[in-house]
Structure 1
């Protein structure tokens, strides 16, 4: 009896050892030769930018600055107006080298990355180490949890991803059975591409994909200089050349071949101008072209500041394939100050007299709430009046030929005694408040100073009586458009370029009271750009 029990125990032990050994072997075989899953993580789209080595080629009509990624020039518009042209690469924000395609005919570039739009379709193809087609999977960006790709652990695969930025389809691969032969043919839409290799481990593997644009993009921005009056009211048939009708992409290395020139060029699409805008930005314009191209932008016609010109050409734009650029056209009018211009240098400390707060100007006590004033004359100013303020504390108004410029004192400060803040930047930023560009808090107006070349505030009165105002967000900084708020608005008045106009600057006393700057009537003069 004891012997039988002992035999059964030994038999059970032997069976357990055998089963354990088999299980371990099976697990090891599964790790070595079994199936694993590759999860595709689309991290976004790399928007390429110009590298410093090859952003600009030989010198052309749109010349190059010391910075290789910027091209500048001047294009005549009329005898008294021109466009200052700047072509720059998009801001550079480096991303992982994993996203770099192996395309040899496009320059190395830093990139900034943006998300792929929802519902855009993209495809991932898989090839083995010998370049044989294994499988493919179509994805729709942002649509739920999508299954991974089942492959063999321990093996090395090439992964190709591509998209044409469409919500409906992706083009089919031609000759896709071998990676060396596979290609995309006749692509005339926004082609994006990724390639990478990975040796798969057991379990789940993650493939991080960053698609890269293969064609160039140019965003065109037209704006008017602060010294220029009026607005942009018409843009007709703006076209960029050269571009091709389509291109073919080789999946193995991302190289491109190009199919026939598009003789008509590609249209630059701007939004509706309504009654007129001072700044307008186009949609990205896609160019399909090999190597570096000396591109041109041609306007059928453009109407700006009340003047229409036809066949305006912006030449010699050095554009590299697969990179994004901003083309900025700043319209400037050549002007000259007329006689009668004068400077201002008000700076009065806060004083008290008999318990009343105010200032002392020219020996006279002026209490808070009363106004200071200075008068300018502008004879023969056929282009209007410009008032540059270098320092302000903390409000002002003006009169033009006896009519107030604004219905209320233009108040820049939030905690003023005599009036409330009623002016802000067009982008929503305000002094002593939030800067919508970066979320920081802007300084109070009295904490900033400008210079003659970079004023703190600029007031421009056009020849038609239109008023535009600008201010800087920091001392010596760029000027941004201003708008009146909190019930304040500009009045309507007449400006007569053939006669002497009278402009009066007024300021309500509110504790310390400062205006430093200069104002003058202006007239158009020749730029000597057009013979």
Structure 2
């Protein structure tokens, strides 16, 4: 501070009769100057300094999960799409499209939907563009993930609210394209655009941030994928042969996109093209394809060539009417399966339906019993089991539970320590060797591949054994499963006391291994209904028959 100038100022104020205000002004200025000198952390270069970091990239999830739920067991079956076409006379191809469920408790702040978190690879290139409070263009800078410190910070004015836009094509070798303005002479956020190819993995981020003085401001970039990603896996394990060739396309797809930086709204060409599924043999038989398309329910997979072992088929019937939502990651499983038939699996009579192998008898039934009895007798009824428990609590003709009944509900993972997509059998699973209690999704696939009909008369009685649901293969009318209507061993309303047999002869009710805090899933059938239903976990102490699927 220049003391001469202050003295002159005081003299001037004295001459005009304002000495006291001048002295107060001097004290304030001196105090502020001293405070600046005493603040050893103060650095005038920190004003408006912005450090940039990437915290994550995310895909949206198509659905929301309840608080405390388990995504693999609570995932809505309606979001899983399954279509089958003939491969040849001996095999058929089943396509199952499943949105990848979120596995982290995070929410999209704008939609409150669950999101799937990805960690980006190092060196992924991205651009930061800055606009002032009025939307005017200020500056831009290119960065690469994990190299931000060496590439430098953004230097802006403190106390201003800036809008930061970040975008990338998720590449470590190719820089993101430059933005353009609809009017090059008026560079504003509202007129800023960026054009990308249709096969680019475009990611976007937007945030407003008011810069604080005398400190370093941090911009945490949370990218959002704007295009869909489909990972196609070709499963030929049921054939016993090796996949050596696969050529396919996915449509509709657009070959470019024009994205508004203000809103992330996408403008696409009118014309559709196809996205090639570029497959080369690899250990997982999988390939990932980016799809640039508006939300639709008519996405089509066209397989032009597939070679399994010595068999080559071309121009298979198209798999149509798949639903695709932009910004969602999907798993598309293509399974080549022998046509439905009866067989012996692990020494037990079984039926292959829709690529799954199911035991022909309930657990506890002698395997030499005719599984297609008509009329059905008590010999085709199996034991009753509590969820997650190994010992049977009642036999086929029992009307009350035995001493094995347990008032404590088993853990949700008691029969499956894996996931819906990759189940793992446990030591408490009552199914015989080579089989296990099916998951909800596996039971749902069975339901999708059969036509249910009734056998016998549906009427409740403790001695009524001849009612059953017959599940006939949609691909081979000579292949079926018979599920006797055994009813359940029920409990009281709190689940802490058994009350014995209910609904024998009128209700088929079979456990799956899928349970969570939201409840447990079961296959239920009355005379006029046949469906998978969710029941609250307060009824896990109930006992039901079991029908097993091959591991």
Q: Name the TM-score, length of structure 1 as normaliser.
A: 0.55
After superposition, the Cα gap between the structure-2 partners of 1:154 and 1:296, relative to the gap in structure 1 and judged at 3 Å, is same
Structure 2 residue corresponding to 1:218, chosen from 230, 251, 254: 230
1:112 is paired with a residue of what secondary structure?
strand
1: CA distance, partners of 2:43 / 2:139: 21
1: CA distance, partners of 2:358 / 2:24: 102
Aligned to 1:251: 261
Structure 2 residue corresponding to 1:290, chosen from 294, 299, 302: 294
TM-fit CA distance, 1:305: 6.0
8 A Cα contact 2:57 2:223, kept in partner = yes
Aligned to 1:271: 280
2: CA distance, partners of 1:153 / 1:37: 8
TM-fit CA distance, 1:15: 12
Structure number with the higher strand fraction is 1
Aligned to 1:171: 177
1: CA distance, partners of 2:210 / 2:241: 59
TM-fit CA distance, 1:199: 1.8
1: CA distance, partners of 2:146 / 2:287: 24
Structure number with the higher helix fraction is 2
2:139 is paired with a residue of what secondary structure?
strand
1: CA distance, partners of 2:358 / 2:477: 23
After superposition, the Cα gap between the structure-2 partners of 1:145 and 1:224, relative to the gap in structure 1 and judged at 3 Å, is same
TM-fit CA distance, 1:181: 0.6
Aligned to 2:100: 90
8 A Cα contact 1:292 1:321, kept in partner = no
1:197 is paired with a residue of what secondary structure?
strand
2: CA distance, partners of 1:233 / 1:262: 30
2: CA distance, partners of 1:444 / 1:287: 39
Structure 2 residue corresponding to 1:156, chosen from 150, 157, 161: 161
TM-fit CA distance, 1:436: 9.8
8 A Cα contact 1:42 1:209, kept in partner = yes
8 A Cα contact 1:37 1:150, kept in partner = yes
1: CA distance, partners of 2:347 / 2:253: 54
1:21 is paired with a residue of what secondary structure?
helix
2: CA distance, partners of 1:129 / 1:68: 45
After superposition, the Cα gap between the structure-2 partners of 1:528 and 1:329, relative to the gap in structure 1 and judged at 3 Å, is farther
1: CA distance, partners of 2:257 / 2:112: 20
Aligned to 1:42: 54
2:31 is paired with a residue of what secondary structure?
helix
1:23 is paired with a residue of what secondary structure?
helix
Structure 1 residue corresponding to 2:141, chosen from 137, 141, 146: 137
1:170 is paired with a residue of what secondary structure?
coil
TM-fit CA distance, 1:166: 2.0
Task: Spell out the pairing of 1:99-110 with structure 2 (5 A cutoff).
Answer: 109-110=113-114
Give the alignment's Cα RMSD to 1 decimal: 4.6
After superposition, the Cα gap between the structure-2 partners of 1:303 and 1:527, relative to the gap in structure 1 and judged at 3 Å, is farther
TM-fit CA distance, 1:137: 1.7
8 A Cα contact 1:292 1:320, kept in partner = yes
After superposition, the Cα gap between the structure-2 partners of 1:344 and 1:89, relative to the gap in structure 1 and judged at 3 Å, is closer
2: CA distance, partners of 1:125 / 1:303: 48
8 A Cα contact 2:295 2:323, kept in partner = no
**Higher-RCO chain (CA-CA 8 Å, sequence separation at least 6):** 1
After superposition, the Cα gap between the structure-2 partners of 1:108 and 1:315, relative to the gap in structure 1 and judged at 3 Å, is farther
Give CA-to-partner distance per residue, 1:417-465, whole Å, 9 cap, x none.
Answer: xxxxxxxxxxxxxxxxxx9999xxx8886x5432xxxxx554xxxxxxx
1: CA distance, partners of 2:223 / 2:50: 18
After superposition, the Cα gap between the structure-2 partners of 1:390 and 1:234, relative to the gap in structure 1 and judged at 3 Å, is farther
> Does 1:329 find its partner at 2:334?
yes
Aligned to 1:309: 313
8 A Cα contact 1:184 1:250, kept in partner = yes
2:33 is paired with a residue of what secondary structure?
helix
Aligned to 1:81: 91
TM-fit CA distance, 1:171: 0.5
Aligned to 1:242: 252
* Structure 1, unpaired ranges of 5+: 1-12, 54-64, 101-106, 346-375, 377-384, 392-434, 451-455, 459-470, 480-524
1:137 is paired with a residue of what secondary structure?
strand
* Structure 2, unpaired ranges of 5+: 1-22, 66-74, 350-356, 364-416, 442-473, 479-551
8 A Cα contact 2:108 2:114, kept in partner = no
Q: Name the TM-score, length of structure 2 as normaliser.
A: 0.53
8 A Cα contact 2:236 2:243, kept in partner = no
